[in-house]
Chain A
Amino acid sequence: MAETHINTISGKPLESQEYLINMGPQHPSTHGVLRLLLTLDGEIIHKVEPHLGYIHRSIEKMCEKDSYTQIVHLTDRMDYLSSHMNNEAVSLAVEQGLELEMPERVKVIRTIISELTRLSSHQLWWGVFGMDLGAITTFLYGFRDREMIIDIFEETCGARLTMNYNVPGGLMFDIHPNFQKRTKAFVAHFKQKLPEYDQLLTGNVIFELRTKGVGILSKEDAISYGVTGPSGRASGFSNDVRKHNPYSAYSQVEFKEALSEEGDSYARYKVRIQEMWESLSIIEQLIDNIPEGDYKAKTKAVIKLPKGEYYQKVETARGEFGVYIISEGGKSPYRLKFRSPGFSNLSALDHMAKGAKIGDLVVIMSTLDLVIPDIDR
């Protein structure tokens, strides 16, 4: 509630109203068609109400009529920045139902591409974060480095963003002969450029002022809102699926789970930068050790899952992505539910933005790294 002010001449309280503003659905920093209904007192935010539904495509319902191979490509269009991980989740869930063991080669390639996707997602996030803060130059620098990864994807599977490289039972194609060479070149390039990211933003006094102590999320709140991924880890909530429930080749590699205790926007930023270093190290560990073998396990032409319920979660760039399949034994699922990280992360926004300023809201939203099609599927 807005404070009551007294008219100094008449002595009566002044009428004051809360100020309602629609941020979005078309707004530069909601990154898509998210609509936030803000209740403001001047610059100070009292309430943030997210309104969804502007990009709803009923993906879960569509999955109920599609075959398991066809479902995979729909998940590309949810969190389009971690499309490979989404594909992987569906593939793993189906493979779990079929009780298929993947060849080692598939596991390793999936892991490398997952980490590349994570890197590209974080690079884009870094660029966009800078842009939300008003430093537009970071956007282009982030995109420059991302382009190299996207090129690797394009050469390997033919698509740049919505890759659909996983199929239940393995990979769609084998890797391109240039894959290892290009990936190594990228790792070498990005190891030089990553310190530049720090130089441009991390140490900058304005940047620190804008992010430190802004949008604090305690560990308890992170757990109760289900905030996962780097956003949750910045609050000290250890939730890395790669670490706790390793899938694909994550049990073979050594990496640290980036954790921080502060839970503010700066901590979320630092955790993501730390994750980029970890991803680079994972790629380096695996790139020279891709085992020979098949890129695909043998599956039937029409995949039918046995009656039952299957759940598989993976760590996308935004947090824990889960696929829950109920099968009646047919060629398409009876019901399919996605647990998307963005949705839970967004739910904490109101809590974090209370009492902050409009400028802070942009920062908080950006550090939650929201991708709207992921929230609203």
Chain B
Amino acid sequence: MYDFKSLTDSIHTSLSAGLSPIMVTIIEFVIIAFAFMILFTLLGLILVYAERKICAFFQLRLGPMRVGKWGMAQTAADAVKLIFKEPLVTKNADKFLFNLAPFIIILSTFLALGAMPFAKGLHALDFDIGVLYLTAVSSIGVIGILIAGWSSDNKYSLIGAMRSGAQVVSYELSVGLSLLTVVVLAGSLQFSEIIASQEAGWWIFRGHIPALIAFVIFMIAGTAETTRGPFDLPEAESELTAGFHTEYSGLKFAFFFLAEFVNMFIIAGIGATVFLGGWMPFHIGNWEGFNRVMDFIPPLFWFFGKVTFLIFLMMWFKWTFPRLRIDQLLRLEWKYLLPINLVNILVMAFIVLKGWQF
């Protein structure tokens, strides 16, 4: 398996040869920032296109077909349109907060994207408390949503923002606890180690039923955290027109829109990393031959394949189910997901204590 660490190390050493360490750090930061910006834009474009196509096929439609072959350039065209659109601000809006909100959301998305392990060694931030860091930064986004709703001076936006506040804060718990279930198994909060611990097989297969339950809960709570699918209450278009981003237009709206899709990627990425082994190929115990064959498929392919699968699952949810009501949404979290999660984590701890995992 190719280790990207050799590549990053070679870049580092070649830079260090002629420059002071501070300059090296700055240049490396710029390179990484640039790479993530490109990734962010690409992800946004591809995911928006995929969503529109997949949604169309669920609904017996063809989706965008006009711009480019099969409408491939549609999202790029939309992006260009959004850039040239007039950024409107409502008359009594709190201008500073109104302009700040999209950046907070984007910031949280970027921070979370930084901790994503794409392949072996291809990892911007590999903290030893990676899981904790990720759950922390991904909840910064809700502040952006609240600010957006508050500052737009629109009652619909405010209701949407308040809904999302209640929703994201609640579901944060379930996301965290379901991740902890696997942390108990893996014995580490560091993403690279969680992946390394899955060399003999992914945790979803090796962790008995508790891992499966944790995965289902993670998918539900993760969808809720991205405010998508059946949990899109903050922007429920049939109730609140567009919720917290009703008053946004142009590029600022594009930020919200992109952040939603990249958040979906992040949730799918965490799910893939923690439960499905991240970039780790599909291994079965000590079947050497089988594992060797699987290793021929590059890790990037594995990672993006798993992420694609999870994203498809989330889109499937979204385009099938009706939306929940706010009180039912909170009931689902506090009366179902949270108690199940707590029991689940206990069972998992017991399994690990006894050493029953495969």
Query: Do A's and B's CB atoms come within 8 Å in the complex?
Result: yes
Which secondary structure characterizes the binding site on chain B?
A: helix
Q: Is the CB of B324 within 8 A of A206?
A: yes
* B41 close to chain A: CB less than 8 A: no
Q: Is the CB of B326 within 8 A of A130?
A: no
Q: Is the CB of A29 within 8 A of B60?
A: no
Query: A residues within 8 A CB of B326?
Result: 43, 357, 359
Least CB distance from A139 to B in Å reads 8
* A201 close to chain B: CB less than 8 A: yes
Range of interface residues on A (Cβ < 8 Å): 20 to 34
Q: Tell me the B316-358 residues at the A interface (CB within 8 Å).
A: 319-328
Residue from B59, B237, B324, B327 in contact with A137 in the complex, judged by beta carbons closer than 8 Å: B59
Task: Give complex CA distance A140, B323 in Å.
Answer: 17
Q: Is the CB of A29 within 8 A of B238?
A: yes
Task: Give complex CA distance A209, B328 in Å.
Answer: 8
* B210 close to chain A: CB less than 8 A: no
Q: Is the CB of A134 within 8 A of B156?
A: no
Q: Mark B210-228, 1 if CB is under 8 A from A, else 0.
A: 0000000000000000000
Q: Is the CB of A209 within 8 A of B60?
A: no
Q: Is the CB of B320 within 8 A of A209?
A: no
Q: Is the CB of A358 within 8 A of B240?
A: yes
Q: Mark B148-189, 1 if CB is under 8 A from A, else 0.
A: 000000011001001100000000000000000000000000
How many residue pairs, one in A and one in B, have C-beta atoms under 8 Å apart?
A: 80
Least CB distance from A221 to B in Å reads 23
Q: Is the CB of A134 within 8 A of B320?
A: no
Q: Is the CB of A140 within 8 A of B236?
A: no
Task: Give complex CA distance A27, B246 in Å.
Answer: 12
Query: A residues within 8 A CB of B324?
Result: 206, 209-210
Least CB distance from B272 to A in Å reads 26
* Given A21-B155, A209-B328: A134 in contact with B322 (beta carbons within 8 A): yes
Which residue from chain A places its CB closest to the CB of B156 in the assembled complex?
A: A21
* B230 close to chain A: CB less than 8 A: yes
How many B residues touch A, CB cutoff 8 Å? 29
Q: Is the CB of B155 within 8 A of A28?
A: no
* A37 close to chain B: CB less than 8 A: no
Residue from B159, B163, B319 in contact with A136 in the complex, judged by beta carbons closer than 8 Å: B319
Task: Give complex CA distance A87, B236 in Å.
Answer: 38
Q: List 27 A-B contacts (CB under 8 A).
A: A21-B156, A27-B241, A133-B322, A134-B230, A134-B232, A134-B322, A135-B321, A135-B322, A135-B323, A136-B55, A137-B59, A139-B59, A141-B60, A200-B320, A204-B322, A206-B323, A207-B322, A209-B328, A210-B323, A210-B328, A357-B326, A357-B327, A358-B239, A359-B239, A359-B323, A359-B326, A362-B239
